Amino acid sequence: MMSQKRRIVIFDTTLRDGEQSPGASMNLFEKMEVAQALRDLGVNVLEAGFPIASVGDFEAVREIAMNIRGLTICGLARCNDADIDRAWEALKHAESPRIHVFLATSAIHREFKLKMTREEIIQRAVAGVRRAASYCDDIEFSPEDAARTEHDFLCQVVEAAIDAGATTVNIPDTVGYAIPSHMGQTIAMLRNRVPNIDKAVISVHCHNDLGLAVANSLAAVENGAGQVECTINGIGERAGNCSLEELVMAIRTRSDLYDCETGIVTQRLVPTSRLVSSITGLQVQRHKAIVGRNAFAHEAGIHQDGWLKERTTYEIMHPEDVGFTKTDLVLGKHSGRAALADRAKALGYRLTGEQLQTVFEEFKKLADKKKEIYDGDIAALIEKQLHAMPDGNRQWALVSFEVTSGTGRTPHAKLTLRRGDEEFTREVCDGDGPVDAAFLATEAITGIKLRCRDYQVRSATLGHDALGEVTLEVDHAGETIRGHGISTDTVEATIMAILNTVNRIAARNPQ
């Protein structure tokens, strides 16, 4: 009789730590889209945010807790009453709530940040865990910067937290300082030295400052950790977090070594990666393991020859196992709504009837321009819909544009925008190119000043007639705002991306 494999809890913090990537903040609608995708992916715990951090964070955690079922919804809190009370207020309607409390423990944090003694740290940690446990049974405690905390003191804090009611103890490598042997030894040490460790799940949360977050997490699993905290595409503060897709596929591919499983629906890894990349504007590098465009590409002749004879010569995973589709050319101008809906589902998108109708109308327009519609085109049209502001917040819409530029000529932009029932036109003969002219014309009409920090254009698919996707970041009043635009005309896509940022700013500052 085969023994049952140990199940590793996958704790996803894309919506909390991942959102702390510079420029990656999401609105409520976008967070709900990601939360639904993570639920469909099969994550066990979803850390929805830090409720006391802002009104927006609180509302997002509350909405996710009320509407997303089938997994544990977690909220982060410092070890103080106000944070914990606020977290419970956001989480109380969740089907399965968890409060995650944290307090720094390393010597450098004790001395310079908290200015507290070891005894005070333990007292504060115990009080925080007990208050959280008065609200619900599922409590996680994190000794922040555990990887740099003295082992004797770390053991004392972990034991005290478990006695106070913590059901999960998370060991964070907060600054990405650990290496695999260090992390593995730390987890083994806790299992051997903390007398009540069997009453809690050991978790790890590894940052990627040295590029070792996945390796450190795997070393922890190898030494008995039962939960790993990670994010889609490895996004997060500084160099990011442990990449969910890399961790999951390493455990699955090397099951001979780890003898455990995750329960993740791996075929949804690529679609979820694309969704998070689209929403955050953080593009996945082509050579990114598991979900990058080149992850399963074979260019060297000897590799191609071996692969054609036997896939396993150069392929340790099948691309379809992680969600890459076998075929790319799928639809044409005569395809119907049902075919589009089926393809959208296969690509990992969940569309309402209204969203599907809007995407279908855009699809028909595109089919008149392009002979061949690829998966990338369909994904781009869907993501355009996901990025669209709700009708009530979409103040400015593009009516028409003219842009001219050339060697020795001053760039010229004529732009007509609609707000409500009114149309506004402005001509600008200025700037150092058509994109700059488009920015100036938009600013002249809307009165909203923008400073472009980043501007990216990429092709959705192959061919010179491919959809162009424009992603930009702008500074406005000290905030970083992202915009997204899609069109076969990259100038039009640029203007749509500019308007996307303008509408986001207008929605935050209604007149």
Ordered per-residue pLDDT tens for the chain, 511 residues: 455 889 999 999 999 998 887 667 788 888 999 999 999 999 999 999 999 999 999 999 999 999 999 999 999 999 999 999 999 999 999 999 999 999 999 999 999 999 999 999 999 999 999 999 999 999 999 999 999 999 999 999 999 999 999 999 999 999 999 999 999 999 999 999 999 999 999 999 999 999 999 999 999 999 999 999 999 999 999 999 999 999 999 999 999 999 999 999 999 999 899 889 888 878 888 889 999 877 776 444 444 455 445 666 657 788 888 887 655 556 777 778 888 888 887 777 777 888 888 888 888 888 787 767 777 788 778 877 766 655 555 588 899 999 888 887 888 889 999 988 899 998 888 778 888 888 888 889 998 988 888 888 888 766 676 788 888 888 888 778 888 888 888 888 899 889 988 888 887 765 5
**Residue 100 forms beta bridges with which residues?**
76, 140
Q: Is residue 289 part of a domain?
A: no
Task: Specify if 447 maps to a domain.
Answer: yes
Asked whether residue 193 falls in the same domain as residue 46, the answer is yes
Whether residue 335 sits in one domain with residue 250: no
- pLDDT score recorded for residue 307: 44
214, 250 in Cβ contact below 8 A?
yes
Instruction: Please give the backbone phi and psi of residue 77, each rounded to the nearest 5 degrees, phi first.
Output: -155, 140
380 and 486 both lie in a single domain: no
Tokens 């609105």, located at residue = 27
Whether residues 382 and 395 share a domain: the answer is: no
Residue 176 lies in a domain: yes
pTM for the whole structure: 0.84
Predicted pLDDT of residue 298: 46
Sign, Cα dihedral of 104, 106, 111, 115: positive
Asked whether residue 318 falls in the same domain as residue 454, the answer is no
Same domain, 29 and 136: yes
Helices (H), 241-352: 244-253, 255-258, 269-280, 301-309, 337-346
Domains identified in the chain, total number: 4
User: Where does a domain end: 347, 362, 387?
Assistant: 387
306 and 330 in a single domain? The answer is no
User: What CATH number should be reported for the domain holding residue 133?
Assistant: 3.20.20.70
* 348 and 465 part of one domain: no
Pair 455, 369 in one domain: no
Strand residues in 236-314 grouped as ranges (E): 260-261
Decide if 51 is inside a domain. yes
Pair (422, 351) in one structural domain: no
Domain of residue 317 covers 295-322
For residues 139 and 36, membership in a common domain is answered with yes
* Residue 306 within a domain: yes
Tell me the three state secondary structure of residue 288: coil
Tokens standing for residue 220: 């922890």
Same domain for 299 and 368?
no
